[in-house]
C-alpha cells in the first residue's frame, strides 16, 4: 500500500512526490514549520492529503511546545494554524483541517497540557483514518457510474498520493476495477507540474490498472475517437452552487466532455465542499512560480523575459458536472439544494 503520509515516533513521514516516479524517497518532518514547507513545495499535495498533513503538522507543533499554561499553548496553536493557513490557498481541506484541530483544542482545553497534546495527535490520526474510509465509501458509490469496460479519463492526480490513501477519483476507478469492470485509464499528463504522468501513472502501474498517458492537448481527440466512456476527477474546493475548483485544465476537459456527450464526474469528500463560498468566482486561485512553466526537468523551454501565467487551478461551472460523488452518496444538480442537504446529514464529531 502507498503510504502518502503517516504519524511516526520520529515525526510526520511523507513520500516525496517531487521525486516520483523515478525515486521513491521519504521525508520526515519534526516541526510544524517543516510540515508547512513540504505542503508549500508540494512534497505532499492533493486537497485531502494537504488537510491531513496540516492537522499532523499542527499536532507536531503543539506537541513540541514548551508552554506551561493552556493560555500560552492556545497562543502557540493560533500562531501555528496561521502559518499553516498561508501555505496554499485553494484547497479548502486545509482550512477545514485547521478549524477541526482548533475545535478539538477548545473541547479538551480543561484537561492537563499533556492530555491536550495527546488529544490533538489522536485527532490528526483519526482524520487520516477517516479520509481513507471516506475514499473507500466514495469508491463504492462512484463505481456504479463507471462503464463496465472501456476508457476512463482523469486529470491531475486524485489518487492515494493526493489523500491519506486509496484516492477520490482514482478510488472510484480502483473500486470499479475491484468489482470486475475492465477499465483502461487515460491519464492527462497535467502540465505544468505533471501530476498525471508522474503520479497517477505511477500509482496505477503499481496496482496493475491499464493506463495510457496522453499530453493534455490530446484529450479532445481521444474523446472524439470514442475512446473515453466517462471522466472522473477530484476537486480542491466545491462552491455551494456546485462550481468545482480543480487542477488547471479541468475546465477544458469538462467542456470537451459536454461537446462529446461524455459524463464528467467529480469525486470529493464532504470536507472539500465549501458551503460558505457561494460560487466558483469567489474561490481563491493559487498562482505558482513561473519557473514551473518555463522549465521542464530543469531545462528552459521558453525565451528569456517572456510573460508567463501559472494559475494552479481553474473553475468548472456546475452545469458541466454530471454528478458529484462523496462518501455520503452521489448528488446531482441542482447542487445548491443537493449539496446543502448532503452537508446537513454530516455526523457530529465525537470528543
> 10 Å Cβ neighbour count for 140?
18
Distance CA 125, CA 4 (A): 13
Cβ 135 to ligand MRU shortest distance, Å? 8
Of the residues 4, 34, 124, 163, which one makes contact with ligand MRU according to CB under 6 A: 163
Q: Output 108 or 244, the one with its CB closest to ligand MRU.
A: 244
Cβ 110 to ligand MRU shortest distance, Å? 36
Cβ 289 to ligand MRU shortest distance, Å? 12
What are the Cα distances from residue 58, in Å, to 39, 90, 152, 156, 206?
A: 13, 19, 37, 27, 32
Q: Output 107 or 288, the one with its CB closest to ligand MRU.
A: 288
Question: Under DSSP, is residue 287 helix (H, G, I), strand (E, B) or coil?
Answer: strand
154 binds ligand MRU (CB under 6 A): no
91 binds ligand MRU (CB under 6 A): yes
Q: Which of 188, 236, 274, 314 is catalytic?
A: 236
Residues paired with 29 in a beta bridge: 12
Cβ 167 to ligand MRU shortest distance, Å? 6
Of the residues 14, 29, 45, 123, which one makes contact with ligand MRU according to CB under 6 A: 45
The residue at minimum Cβ distance from ligand MRU is 234
Cβ 12 to ligand MRU shortest distance, Å? 17
> 10 Å Cβ neighbour count for 83?
16
187 binds ligand MRU (CB under 6 A): no
Q: Quick check: 280 and 253 in contact, CB under 8 A?
A: no
Q: Output 163 or 326, the one with its CB closest to ligand MRU.
A: 163
Q: Quick check: 51 and 126 in contact, CB under 8 A?
A: no
Distance CA 300, CA 311 (A): 19
Cβ 285 to ligand MRU shortest distance, Å? 11
Distance CA 162, CA 164 (A): 7
Q: Is 37 a catalytic residue?
A: no
Find the DSSP H helices in 144-248. Answer: 169-178, 195, 201-206, 219-224
Q: Output 81 or 138, the one with its CB closest to ligand MRU.
A: 138
Compose the 221-260 pattern: x for residues touching ligand MRU by CB under 6 A, - for all others: -------------xxx---------xx-------------
Which three cell numbers mark 149?
469496460
> Rg of the Cα trace of the chain?
20
Q: Output 15 or 158, the one with its CB closest to ligand MRU.
A: 158
Q: 153 phi and psi, to 5 degrees?
A: -95, 140
Distance CA 254, CA 243 (A): 12
Per rule CB under 6 A, count of chain residues that contact ligand MRU: 17
195 binds ligand MRU (CB under 6 A): yes
Distance CA 143, CA 190 (A): 24
Compose the 165-184 pattern: x for residues touching ligand MRU by CB under 6 A, - for all others: ---x----------------
Question: Under DSSP, is residue 238 helix (H, G, I), strand (E, B) or coil?
Answer: strand
46 binds ligand MRU (CB under 6 A): yes
> Catalytic amino acids?
236
Binding site for ligand MRU (CB under 6 A): 45-48, 91, 156, 158, 162-163, 168, 195, 234-236, 246-247, 312
Amino acid at each position: 500500500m502507498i503510504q502518502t503520509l503517516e504519524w511516526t515516533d520520529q515525526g510526520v513521514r511523507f513520500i516525496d512526490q517531487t521525486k516520483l516516479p523515478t525515486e521513491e524517497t521519504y521525508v520526515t518532518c519534526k516541526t510544524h514549520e517543516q510540515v508547512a514547507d513540504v505542503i508549500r513545495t508540494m512534497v505532499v499535495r492533493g486537497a485531502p492529503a494537504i488537510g491531513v498533513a496540516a492537522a499532523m503538522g499542527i499536532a507536531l507543533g503543539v506537541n513540541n511546545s514548551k508552554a506551561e499554561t493552556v493560555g500560552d499553548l492556545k497562543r502557540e496553536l493560533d500562531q501555528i494554524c496561521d502559518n499553516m493557513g498561508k501555505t496554499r490557498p485553494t484547497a479548502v481541506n486545509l482550512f477545514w483541517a485547521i478549524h477541526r484541530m482548533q475545535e478539538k483544542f477548545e473541547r479538551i482545553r480543561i484537561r492537563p497540557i499533556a492530555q491536550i497534546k495527546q488529544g490533538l495527535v489522536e485527532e490528526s490520526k483519526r482524520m487520516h483514518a477517516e479520509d481513507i474510509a471516506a475514499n473507500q465509501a466514495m469508491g463504492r458509490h462512484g463505481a456504479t457510474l463507471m462503464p463496465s469496460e472501456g476508457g476512463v479519463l482523469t486529470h491531475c492526480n486524485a489518487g492515494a498520493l493526493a489523500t491519506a490513501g486509496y484516492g477520490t477519483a482514482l478510488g472510484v476507478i480502483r473500486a470499479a476495477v475491484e468489482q470486475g469492470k475492465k477499465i483502461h485509464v487515460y491519464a492527462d499528463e497535467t502540465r505544468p507540474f505533471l501530476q498525471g504522468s508522474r503520479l497517477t501513472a505511477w500509482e496505477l502501474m503499481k496496482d496493475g490498472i491499464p493506463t495510457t498517458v496522453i499530453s493534455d492537448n490530446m484529450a479532445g481527440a481521444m474523446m472524439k475517437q470514442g475512446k473515453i466512456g466517462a471522466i472522473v476527477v477530484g476537486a480542491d474546493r466545491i462552491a455551494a452552487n456546485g462550481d468545482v475548483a480543480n487542477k488547471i485544465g479541468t475546465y477544458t476537459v469538462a467542456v470537451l466532455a459536454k461537446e462529446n456527450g461524455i459524463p464528467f464526474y467529480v469525486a470529493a469528500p464532504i470536507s472539500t465542499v465549501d458551503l460558505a463560498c457561494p460560487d466558483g468566482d469567489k474561490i481563491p486561485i493559487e498562482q505558482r512560480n513561473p519557473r514551473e512553466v518555463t522549465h521542464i526537468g530543469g531545462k528552459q523551454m521558453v525565451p528569456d523575459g517572456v510573460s508567463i501565467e501559472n494559475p494552479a487551478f481553474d473553475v468548472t461551472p456546475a452545469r458541466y458536472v454530471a454528478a458529484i460523488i462523496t462518501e455520503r452518496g452521489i448528488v446531482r444538480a441542482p447542487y445548491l439544494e443537493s449539496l446543502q442537504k448532503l452537508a446537513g446529514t454530516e455526523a457530529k464529531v465525537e470528543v
